[in-house]
Structure 1
Amino acid sequence: MVEYEAPQLDAVFRALADPTRRAMLAALSSQPLPVGELAAPFDISLAAASKHIQVLERAGLIQRTITGRTHLCQLNAAPMHAGLEWIRHYERFWQQRVDVLEALLKAEDKVRKPRAPRNPRRKP
């Protein structure tokens, strides 16, 4: 098995497990946003949004800079790479299954040769 730093990988997957956090990351993929703007599209309180942001920060997926009273969040996609590599390790197992399925379907197609349509006017 491929070795990864388990706590960091766990934190990334935990952060990505929530649809609100995934949507926040999607919003941050185009530009950095202040916390208020990041929370605005969601029907949640600012305190709840802040908790989501803290989960993303602990996973290393966002960086927050504070200037005065403005908290600006910026995407840091680098930690997702470990998750991608972990998934890629298992891709060969999925690919083997797909290859077997493809071979079975091709074999079945060879067995089932299409018959010519019968002419209803002709008697058999």
Structure 2
Amino acid sequence: MASDDRLSLAFAALADPTRRAILTRLAQGPATVQEVAEPFTMSAPAISRHLKVLERAGLVTRTTRAQWRTLSLQSEPLDEVSAWIDQQRREWNLRLDALEQHLETMKGKDHEHFP
């Protein structure tokens, strides 16, 4: 899967507060589907849909042992999101610094013409 596609899937998954809450829970360590679903007042199929979105984005993996399905957080997609945000921040900071320098230059020129 292309990097842009993975990034889009991760951002789409992170856009929902329920899915972010699930990731916050899994950041504490692996948990069963039942443990993850416990704090929510939604149906099991609704939780399952959220988990499928997280799995598709690569943010969560599911392992099955006997009747237990354990979920684990996968940090790689979050690392990609963080790297993308950091790159955007660097680019915008460069642009804003250039704008600030330009405005300072223009301000200095105004003082030359209008003391």
Q: TM-score, normalised by structure 2?
A: 0.77
Residue of structure 2 equivalent to 1:30: 28
**Structure with the higher fraction of residues in helix conformation:** 2
Are 2:56 and 1:58 aligned? yes
Q: Secondary structure at the match of 1:66?
A: strand
* Whole-Å separation in 2 of the counterparts to 1:36 and 1:65: 14
**Given the superposition, is the C-alpha separation of residues 24 and 93 from structure 1 closer, same or farther in structure 2, using an over 3 Å criterion?**
same
Residue of structure 1 equivalent to 2:9: 11
Residue of structure 2 equivalent to 1:88: 86
Supply the AA of the counterpart residue of 1:23.
Answer: A
The structural deviation recorded for 1:93 is 4.0
The structural deviation recorded for 1:84 is 1.2
The percentage of counterpart residues that share the same residue type is: 39
* Whole-Å separation in 2 of the counterparts to 1:45 and 1:71: 17
Residue of structure 1 equivalent to 2:45: 47
The structural deviation recorded for 1:42 is 0.9
Over 6 Å off, 4+ runs: none
Supply the AA of the counterpart residue of 2:4.
Answer: A
> What's the Cα RMSD here?
2.1
Give the count of matched residue pairs: 100
* Whole-Å separation in 1 of the counterparts to 2:53 and 2:16: 10
* Whole-Å separation in 2 of the counterparts to 1:25 and 1:9: 16
The structural deviation recorded for 1:21 is 0.3
Q: Secondary structure at the match of 1:79?
A: helix
Residue of structure 2 equivalent to 1:79: 77
Q: Secondary structure at the match of 1:13?
A: helix
